[in-house]
Structure 1
Amino acid sequence: MHRCLDDVILVAGHRGMVGSAIVRRLSSQGYQNILTAGRDELDLVNQAAVNAYFRHNKIDQVYLAAAKVGGIHANNTYPAGFIYDNLMIEANIIQAAHSAGVQKLLFLGSSCIYPKNAEQPMKEAALLTGVLEATNEPYAIAKIAGIKLCESYNRQYGRDYRSVMPTNLYGPHDNYHPENSHVIPALLRRFHEAVKAQADEVVIWGSGTPMREFLHVDDMAAASVHVMELDAVLYKANTQPMLSHINVGSGVDCTIRELAETIARVTGFTGKLVFDASKPDGTPRKLMDVSRLKNLGWQSKIDLKAGLCDAYKWFVENQSEIRV
């Protein structure tokens, strides 16, 4: 493992769920010089502003966790925003990092880069082998572009820009918007409100049959730092010039129905679960093949129920802070 605790590290997107977890992880590992910049200080969609920021700060490493994210409803409703903002953010940061001589960068993508009907569990080699899920295609294309940007700067300029593709993430600082959030925060909030209202039932989007894999964000942060600290020779030995990303997941999945039943237990809801099959299900199954990451010495440690308890505890204790 390569660790230089004096490195100046920029965590782009530090106020988000993933970025804040990476900051926590880096701090716990002893890194002292962590740079962060909020939207009021730096607009990542503004190329000139990003270039100026890199010129004025001597940066050794970048964690590119900034992104415009959301669930099925948000992706369906705001496709232009999802593709434009994400393309601009990643292109601006990667180019500015290169221009400023930053050698090490980690790009965080998403499991939605893989084809809708990819063979399960999804291997890294499945990238660009089939049609994407229609509901989040613009977001997925932006994330694929980020991978290819990193690959291209590595090939042309000899940079060490790495990419990790997380499965569905959840945990502290998640987005709990009733319509624009991902499935776990949406359900945690819905069940919490149902308990408060003493409701008899909770309605869940879709049939409940799709299978999903979930990873606590603290596990994702630990994996990200692990991959970033890997010796360059070891990292390259486990990737390929045209396949330079690594899956990050738990390697375990469950149905949406099973997830809802677990969340009901975590929140104390004892009513009826109603599945609204008129709502879109999205991809039938999404499970990551994480064998490559295991070969590199890392695997997840937080199981789903314990992770959900932690996420729910944070939600209850931080009502004034949650993004709604």
Structure 2
Amino acid sequence: MSVVRVGDAYDVVIKSGCSLRVADVVGDGVQRALVVHTDSMRTLGEQVVSSLRGAGVEAYAAAVPDAEDAKSASVAAELWAVLGRHGFTRTDVVVGVGGGTVTDLAGFVAATWLRGVPLVQVPTTLLGMVDAAVGGKTGINTAEGKNLVGSFHPPRAVLCDPDVLTTLPRPDYVAGLAEVVKAGFIVDPVILDLVAADPEAATRPDGPHTLELVERAIRVKADVVSVDLKESSLREILNYGHTFGHAIEHVESYRRRHGEAVAIGMVFAAELSCAAGLLARDVVDRHRQVLTSVGLPTSYPPGRWTELEAAMRRDKKTRGDLLRFVVLADVARPTRLEGPTPEQLRTAYAAVSA
């Protein structure tokens, strides 16, 4: 078992079988629990409900749509209605069981019901474990963009069960690696070395370095959010690759996997940094090498720049008319590029769409 402490707030537990130990971490005084899960995680969601009931908690299950369809105001409203019907109070708990979209949604519902109730996250995807469930960011999407409505609401605990990863379809697991690789580029180069040493093994939940990769990526995020919970400064580095990546997701109506979009977004950010004279070409090339080696995309079709630029201007890091990007000056040397020129932006887009 590994435990990663997020500041003085909560623990991220990495342990086989811990997904059924929610009752151990909900805290005292909890009488009711709402377990939010997708249809694909129905079996595990029901097991979590049973384990809570066995511990004397009045537990209810709520199934939500898979993928980004779950992160809508209408789905959140349905969950608020469930909480109201069952009389949930400020001492009761919401539990998110699923991938990043479910943990984002469950967190948002917990943050907004009675202005905040306890939350426990049980991420079931690689992406959820290393990114979405850790850090206290919650949110839903709107027609105008991704995660534009949300709140910061740290969980009481995060339970990462490596056994659950073996049930993931390979494309979903590989997509989650984008956030692991991101952690390597912005803070921990050892991650990049481990992936490069055996790329094929990195794509398997039973790979020899899987647990180390997961723990290292979680530690990167935990260390950053411990310093900057509300993304006032340092935490922005966790958005490396996300400005362009979120734009891709938006223009494709969220049909592309988040990790795939972020992988392309990292290459765009690297090319942009290179065009601005901040990053050496060999580091840009390393992005493509590492991401390609595990089967992640590094290019995007031409002809959609106008849509993508418009979507990026609605990004949370944008200030007024000033586009802002997290970029690298080198591996493990993240920085910000504010107001890149139109020529630099188009050069980066041409490089990823060549």
Structure 2 length-normalised TM = 0.28
Structure 1 length-normalised TM = 0.30
Q: Does 1 or 2 have the higher relative contact order (CA < 8 Å, sep 6+)? A: 1
Greater fraction helix: 2
